[in-house]
Amino acid sequence: MAFDFDQRIDRRHSDSLKWRKYGDRDILPLWVADTDFRSANCITAALQQRVAHGVFGYGFPSEALIEVVVERMAQRYGWQIQPEWLVFLPGVVCGLNLCVRAFTSPQESTLAPTPIYPPFRQAAKLADRAQLNVPLRLQEQRWVLDLDAHESQLDGSEKLLMLCNPQNPGGTVYRREELEAQLRFAQRHDLIVCSDEIHCDLLLEPGVKHIPFASLSEDAAQRSITLMSPSKTFNIAGLGASMAIIPNRELRERFSRERKGMVPDVDVLAYVAATAAWRDGQPWLDELLAYLKRNRDTLVNHINTLPSLSMVSPEGSYLGWIDTGKLNIANPQQFFERHGLGFSAGSDFGDDRFVRINFGCHRLLLDEALRRITLAVSSHSQADW
């Protein structure tokens, strides 16, 4: 292995949001979606070279970055995009919020799956927009979205469909026929589609491919905003390099107008990191995916041996969605926290029976987490007895 993902990097007393949450308490932070792996050498080398220049004025995306994005979309997804479709952002979350504000009025509403990454829910709430939550259902060990089953609940105020692929927290990578069903739904109700595809490079299931929603057809492209970033894939979230891909000129102008004076430009170091990651980071990423797959398989197999827990194997991302329903506890996140495990609360995603675990960590940390999970579940069962 050319890259050492077993390396233990102490983040507890650094500026890490993830690790500072619990301070010196003996709680393993397995919540927010950043990994504990050192970023690819090509990224740090590019950053060091840029820092050595010594001047950090206002910047703009370089031709090299735009070229690598266009090439990447074509090579990986067969999606031919134009440079003018790109709107660079300091994060995908602000893109979610901009979509809600740019494409709905206060009298109009959004649709989103549930459970879902909390900023989907928060974006509607912060903009004072109504949101219809469409529950995912478990089908053949995959969390899938059935919009048609909830069509009768629509009242005509819906203007924006918010999708997440790969799905966070369930880990589903939608197949073409599933995406086409989502497109038909959007067409029937004349919906603009915001598709968060930030985890698209983190595919763990052999044979599964990511298909950008906008690549389905010309109609899909003209009604969609695609949000992407190298941040999760290459562990550079703190640098803030993301983008919206918006083929429709009118939608792009509305989106860009909404951001003016509110959302800052991307900083020069983020542009440098994104360029290096997408241009030169694939060998690192290939080995990362193999490592994450081993972590995933270990986690899923262990969780499903415990009688009171269950977990579907995520097809993408480094996030696991653990069903704690059989434990019969009011607050699973607090329960596990008392046993030294810092998970994300399922209630934040829309289902308080679950917790979300981040398995983007070195193997020894994951092994310790599994040991603590087993002890927590065992102690709860013995207390009940």
- Enumerate the domain spans of the chain: 17-41+282-377, 57-280
Q: What does the block give as tokens for 97? A: 């919020």
Angle, helices 92-103/249-259, rounded to nearest 10 degrees: 110
Please, where are the H alpha helices in the chain? 17-20, 41-53, 63-77, 92-103, 118-126, 176-188, 218-222, 231-234, 249-259, 268-280, 282-303, 332-338, 363-384
- Extract long-range pairs of 77-84: CB within 8 Å, 24+ residues apart: 77/210, 77/211, 77/212, 77/215, 78/215, 79/212, 79/214, 79/215, 81/245, 81/247, 82/247
| pLDDT at 17 (0 to 100) | 96
57-280 matches 17-41+282-377 in CATH topology: no
The topology (CATH level 3) of 57-280 is Aspartate Aminotransferase; domain 2 (3.40.640)
Q: Which residue has the tokens 């829309």?
A: 350
3-state secondary structure 95-159: HHHHHHHHHCCCCCEEEEEECCCHHHHHHHHHCCCEEEEEEEEEECCEEEECCHHHHHHCCCCEE
Cβ neighbours of residue 364 under 8 Å, at least 6 residues apart?
A: 6, 8
Contacts of 84 (CB under 8 A, 6+ apart): none
Architecture of domain 17-41+282-377: Alpha-Beta Complex (3.90)
pLDDT attached to residue 385: 37
- Compute the CA torsion angle 337, 330, 355, 377 (nearest 10 deg): 60
Cβ-Cβ contacts under 8 Å for 174 (sequence gap 6 or more): 144, 145, 165, 166, 167, 182, 211
d(CA 139, CA 312): 10
The number of C-alpha atoms within 13 Å of 363 and in the hemisphere containing its C-beta is 12
- Write down how long the chain is: 385
At residue 245's C-alpha, the angle toward residues 266 and 256, to 5°, is 60
Strand 109-114 relative to strand 130-139, pairing: parallel
Q: What is the pLDDT along the chain (385 residues), one digit of tens a residue?
A: 589 999 999 998 899 999 999 999 999 999 999 999 999 999 999 999 999 999 999 999 999 999 999 999 999 999 999 999 999 999 999 999 999 999 999 999 999 999 999 999 999 999 999 999 999 999 999 999 999 989 999 999 999 999 999 999 999 999 999 999 999 999 999 999 999 999 999 999 999 999 999 999 999 999 999 999 999 999 999 999 999 999 999 999 999 999 999 999 999 999 999 999 999 999 999 999 999 999 999 999 999 999 999 999 999 999 999 999 999 999 999 999 999 999 999 999 999 999 999 999 999 999 999 999 999 999 886 665 3
Pair of tokens at residue 330: 């009011």
Helical residues (DSSP H) of 247-281, grouped into ranges: 249-259, 268-280
DSSP three-state, residue 344: strand
The pLDDT value given to residue 384: 52
Tell me if 308 sits within 8 A of 335, measured CB to CB: no
